[in-house]
Structure 1
Amino acid sequence: MVTDKPKLSFWQIWNMCFGFLGIQFAFALQNANVSRIFQTLGADMDLIPILWIAGPVTGLIVQPIVGHFSDKTWGKMGRRRPYFLYGAIVTSLALIAMPNSPYLWFAASMLWIMDAAINVSMQPFRALVGDNLPKSQQPTGFAVQSFFIGVGAVVASMLPWILAQYGVSNEAEAGAIPDTVRYAFYFGAVVLFLAVGWTVLRTREYSPEQLAAFEAAEKVERAPIQERAPELWLKGAVAWFLPALVGTGVIWALGLDKQLYILSISLLAFALLQAYVGQRRKAGKSHNGTDVVMADLYAMPDQMKRLALVQFFSWFALFAMWIYTTAAVTSVHYGTMDTSSAAYNEGANWVGMLFAGYNGFSAIAAMIIPMMVSAIGIRFSHSINLLLGAAGLASIMVIDDPAWLMLSMVGIGFAWASILSLPYALLAGVLPANKMGVFMGIFNLFLVIPQLLAASVLGMLLRVGFDNQPIYAMAIGAVSFGLAALSMLTVKKPEDELAAQAT
C-alpha cells in the first residue's frame, strides 16, 4: 500500500541541497560586484538599473519555461538534475568571461547569459524539495537550502576583500577590472560546477508514476484547473494592451525617464501573450508550453496568490539594496564616486563584506527560524523577519561609521533566510505533484516582476524625489519590506488552505 513519501536522512537532504552552495556563490558574486564592474566600465548611475534588467527579464522568461519542461522530463538523469547540470556549465563559463569584459555592452551581455543559466539551474532546485520530501520535512529542506545559500554567499561576497588581504591587487587603471574581482569570479566558476555536480551525482529522484502514487495517497482532492474561455483571453489582451499603449505614448510625449519604457513594454508583452493564447484557443489548437504556463498563471491556488504579493514587496526591497548599496556606501560613508580611487574600491570591498555579513547571518537564521516557526507559526515568523529586514535597511541611512553597518546586516540576514524558505514551505504543500515545477516557476515570476518595476522606476524616483542620492534607495527598500510584512498577515495557515481545496 502506498503511503506518504519516505522521510530522508539528514545527509540525503544535505546532498540534495548542496548544489545551492554553488548557485548562490555565483549569485552573490554577481550581486556584490556587477554594479562595480558596470561603473568601472563607464556606466552612469542612471544607466545601472537598466543594465540590471538582465536578471528580471531572463527570470521572467526562463523560470516558468524550465519549470514546465522539467515537469515533463524523465530520463537517465531524472527529472530536475539535467537542468542543474547544464545550467551550471553555462554559468561557470559566463563567470570566467564577465570580469574580462573589455566593454560595457560585453559585460551587460555576460550578465544576461549568466542570469539565464543561473535560472536554469536554480528553479528546479525548489521543485526538487517538493518532489523528494514529505510535507513534514519540506520546511527543513528549504531551511537547509537557505543555510547553503548563506554559506556560499558569505565566502563569495568576501572573496575580493580576502584576496586583497593576501596581496592581490585591488586597484586597476581606469576602465579595467581589479585582479581581486577577476580571480574571485574564476574561483566561483569552479565552486559552482563542483557543488552542482555533487548534487547531480548524490541525489536520486522519484519517477512521475511514484509521485502520482504519493499524491493519491494524501487523499487531498484539488480542484481541477478551469479552462479559460477564448473570449476572456482576448478581453484580457485588450485590457492590458490599452494602458501599455497609452503609457508608452505618455512617456514619449512628455519626455519622461526612458527606464519607464521597461514597464510599458512589459505590459505590452503580457497583452500580446494573452492575445496569442486566445487565438490558439479560438482555433482549437492543441496546447503548447506557452498555453500551459499562461493557463496555470490564471489558475494559481489562492494561497499562491497571497504569497505572491508578499514576494513582490520583498523582492522589490532586495533589488533596491543590490543595485544601490555599493553606490550608497561609497558616496556617503567613503565620500567618493570616483571608481578609480582607492577610497571607492575600499568602500566597494566593504560592501562585499557587508553582503557576506547578511548572508552569514542568514545561515545562522536558517537554524533559528525553524524554532520560531514551532513557537509562533510560519506566518508570524515571516512577518517578524521581514520587519527585521526593514529595520536593517533603514539603519544604513543613520549609521555614520561604515564598520557599524555590519549591525544592519543582522536584520537583512534574517529577512533573506526567511524569504528563501518560509514562502516555499507554505506553497509546496498545496501544489499538485505533476505541476510542481511550473507552479514554482510561475511563483518565481513574483520575484522577477518587482525587479522589473524597480529597474523601471527606482532611478526616476531617486532623481526626481531625492536629488539622485542612492542612499535613499535604502529607505524605499525598508518601506517595501514593511508592506511585505503586512501582506503576510493575509496568508492562510497551511491546514486552512488544504481544507479549502478539499471542499
Structure 2
Amino acid sequence: MTKPKLSFWQIWNLSFGFLGVQIGYSLQNSNTSSIFESLGADVSHLSYFWLAAPLAGMIVQPIVGLFSDGTWTRWGRRIPYILGGSLISALALVLMPNCPKLLAFAPLAMGAFILLFMDLSFNVTMQPFRALVADMLDDSQKTQGYVVQTFLINLGAVVGAILPLVMTWLGVSDEVSFVGLMRNVPGVMVRLGVTQFFSWAALFLMWTYLKPAITGVVTDHATGEVLSAGATQTWVGVLNGTYPIPACIAALFLGRVAARYGNKPVYAACLLAGALGLAGLCLLHDQYALMLPMVGIGIAWAGILAMPYAILSRAVEPRRMGVYMGIFNFTITVPQIVIGLTGGAIVKYCFASDAADMLALAGVFMLLAAVSVFLVKEHKAQ
C-alpha cells in the first residue's frame, strides 16, 4: 500500500516526543557515574551499574514492539506505550537523586533499583517512536524521518546535559511466537549488528569512563591549573552537552548527503569521525580544547541514531516493523552488557585502573565499527 507523502512538520511531529525522552537520557548519562561515586562505588564497579540501561532495553524493547504491533485503540497502537512510559520516566527521574533518603542503609542498592526502573520506562517510551516513523513514512521519506528524529534526540540531549550547569548559574547547587521471529531475522539486521556492537560498545565506554578519565588531567583554560573534582564533573556535563550540537547540525544534512552518496558511505564516514574524536579526548587536556573532539563524536552520534534505522526499515516487512525494531535493540544493549560485565576487569587488570585507556579502547571500537559498515548489504529504496 502506498503511503501518503508527509510534510516536514508532519514528520517533525511524529518524533517530537523524543525530545523529552532524550532530556532524561542525557541527565542520566551525565550524572549516573557521579551519583554512584558519591554513594561509595569504586571506579572499577561503575560499569556494573551502567548495565541497567542495556538490560532494560534488551528485555523491554522487543516486548513493547511485539505488543504495540498488535495493539489497536482510539489513540492508535503506539501512543498508549509512549504516554505510559513517559509518565513513569518522570517519576523515576524524581526518585533517582533521592535514593539515599529512600533507603538510607543501602543507598547503592536503591540507586541501582531506581536506575533499572528508569531505564525500563525510558525504553517503553522510546521504542514505539522508532516504529512510528516506519509506520507512517514510505521508503523515500524514511531516511528523512530518522534524521529528523536524530535532530530532536540531540536537541534534547543538549538541554539535558546543560541543565546542571544552568542550575548552577541560577544558584542551585502480535500472534507469531518470538522464537519464530528470531529465526527469520533479516540478514541485514545481523550485519548491522556487527557495526552496532562496536559503535555502542565505544559509546558505553565513553559515557562510563569520561569523567574518571579526565579527572586530575583536564586543566582550566585561563590558569592552566587542574580542575577540581566538582568542576570536572560540571565540565563533563558541558562536554556531554557539546556533542549533540554538531549532531543536530549533521542531522540536517545527512538525508541529503545520503541520497547522493548512499547510506553506507555516509554511515561509515560518521563513525570514522567518531573514532577521531575519541582519539582527541585521549590527547587533549585543556577544557575548551576537549570540546573539539566532541564535534567528531557528535557526527558519529547523528549517524548511529539515523543511518542503521534507515537501512533496516527498507528490509523489514511493515506488519512486523515494531517487533523487529525492538529486536534490533539487542544490537544496542548486548554490547553495553558485554562491556559492562567486562569493563571493570579490563580497566583494573589491563590498564591499571587508568580510565583514560578505556577512551582509547573506545576509539579502536569506533574505528572497527566504521570498517564493518561495508559488510552490510543494503536494500535499495522502492
The amino acid that maps onto 1:138 is K
| Secondary structure in 1 matching 2:177 | helix
Partners of 1:345 and 1:383 in 2: CA distance? 37
Shift of 1:292: 2.1
Matched, 1:152 2:150: no
Shift of 1:342: 8.1
Matched, 1:26 2:24: yes
Q: 1:80 aligns with which of 73, 78, 81?
A: 78
Tell me which residue corresponds to 1:401: 286
Matched, 1:139 2:143: yes
Partners of 1:140 and 1:428 in 2: CA distance? 12
Partners of 1:355 and 1:342 in 2: CA distance? 17
The percent identity for this pair of structures is 44
* Paired residues of 1:334 and 1:344 also in contact (CA < 8 A): no
| Count of matched residue positions in the alignment of Structure 1 and Structure 2 | 371
* Paired residues of 2:155 and 2:244 also in contact (CA < 8 A): yes
Partners of 1:391 and 1:12 in 2: CA distance? 36
Tell me which residue corresponds to 1:331: 216
Partners of 1:294 and 1:317 in 2: CA distance? 30
Matched, 1:123 2:127: yes
* Paired residues of 2:314 and 2:380 also in contact (CA < 8 A): no
Matched, 1:452 2:337: yes
Moved more, 465-474 or 294-303: 294-303
* Paired residues of 1:332 and 1:471 also in contact (CA < 8 A): no
Matched, 1:307 2:311: no
* Paired residues of 1:66 and 1:123 also in contact (CA < 8 A): yes
Cα gap change, 1:43 to 1:334, in 2 (>3 Å): farther
Partners of 2:216 and 2:339 in 1: CA distance? 21
Partners of 1:319 and 1:331 in 2: CA distance? 21
Matched, 1:354 2:239: yes
The amino acid that maps onto 1:84 is I
Shift of 1:101: 1.4
Q: 2:264 aligns with which of 379, 384, 408?
A: 379
Partners of 2:128 and 2:317 in 1: CA distance? 15
Shift of 1:165: 1.6
Partners of 1:474 and 1:364 in 2: CA distance? 25
* Paired residues of 2:219 and 2:227 also in contact (CA < 8 A): no
Deviations 1:284-329 (A, max 9, x none): xxxx97x722321221111111111111111000100111111112
Partners of 1:8 and 1:464 in 2: CA distance? 54
**TM-score under structure 1 normalisation?**
0.72
Partners of 1:298 and 1:392 in 2: CA distance? 38
| Secondary structure in 2 matching 1:332 | coil
Moved more, 125-134 or 100-109: 100-109
Tell me which residue corresponds to 1:112: 116
Shift of 1:122: 0.3
Cα gap change, 1:56 to 1:441, in 2 (>3 Å): same
**TM-score under structure 2 normalisation?**
0.94
Deviations 1:326-376 (A, max 9, x none): 1112232269xxxxx981111111111111100111101101212321332
* Paired residues of 2:19 and 2:155 also in contact (CA < 8 A): yes
Larger gyration radius, structure 1 or structure 2: 1
1:406-485 matched pairs, under 5 angstroms? 406-485=291-370
What is the root-mean-square deviation of aligned Cα atoms in Å?
A: 1.7
Tell me which residue corresponds to 1:168: 172
Tell me which residue corresponds to 1:345: 230
Deviations 1:186-233 (A, max 9, x none): xxxxxxxxxxxxxxxxxxxxxxxxxxxxxxxxxxxxxxxxxxxxxxxx
Shift of 1:166: 2.1
* Paired residues of 2:278 and 2:362 also in contact (CA < 8 A): yes
5+ long unaligned stretches in structure 2? 101-106, 221-225
Partners of 1:334 and 1:65 in 2: CA distance? 46
